[in-house]
A and B are shown apart, each in its own frame.
Chain A
Amino acid sequence: MEHGSFTDNSAATFSLTDEDHTIANAVRFTLNQDPRVTFCGYSIPHPSEARVNIRVQTTGDPAREVLKDACQNLMLMCRHVRCTFDKAVEDFKASNAVKALKIDSQDSSGDDSEESE
């Protein structure tokens, strides 16, 4: 739901239902990073009601487009974080496997030398 003015669509308040700080703070962060935004903020009118008001004021671009771009940026950031995380976990597991193999081979070579003596 968008509360704005018909004549000037560069400033609007978006009221999202079933949302809370989780997405509102993240979207507010990506909105702030956009150079077209002059003001952005969010508020929760009442904590018992799951509703968030996000206020966006821009330098001329329609506020709706800027908010959509911010959400897209957030999605891309998430995807990048996910890929990096998966790769880091795989690398960690691989290096641990290598370490375990090395320890095993060291142990077995130690046993062999003891047996030969």
Chain B
Amino acid sequence: MIKAILVFNNHGKPRLSKFYQYFTEDMQQQIIKETFQLVSRRDDNVCNFLEGGSLIGGSDYKLIYRHYATLYFVFCVDSSESELGILDLIQVFVETLDRCFENVCELDLIFHVDKVHFILNELVMGGMVLETNMTEIMTRIEDQAKVEKQEAGLSAAPARAVSAVKNMSIPQQIKDIRLPDLPQAIKDLKF
């Protein structure tokens, strides 16, 4: 079983964290920090497996990671998963992201972290591999995006109206309305 999936950048800033086993919020941050320290110390020419991240559990657990440009993708798994298989899974995940965002980069992950989560949920569910066919994952993600778009057409109307009104900034506009200077106008009145 996959215990956790972490994505962070070269400086240890988390970009995605998903735990399939319960940890307190503090613990989660500690795990991310420790994992980063373990992984970032390693050269690029060593193997992609690391044993014994102490926080997430005993010797049964392994960290399997890949390093792409500025990002580390780390999967923490127990012995029931094939190490090499997980490496391929990371590849599938990254390729799917690449297809969804068209040349994915760190910024995509930052600004669309919800979308990344949705993609991940189609790939892995409850710590087990769900689907590895990229085309299938892509179709499902696109279909769901369509459903959301339709909804936005109908029911987002009130929200849009309110923000439109707000953008008009009525108090300012009222101020901006140029009324003729009344006393002067009265004076100008010729009877």
The reply to whether chain A is a binding partner of chain B is no
Query: What residues make up the interface of A, taking CB atoms closer than 8 Å to B?
Result: none
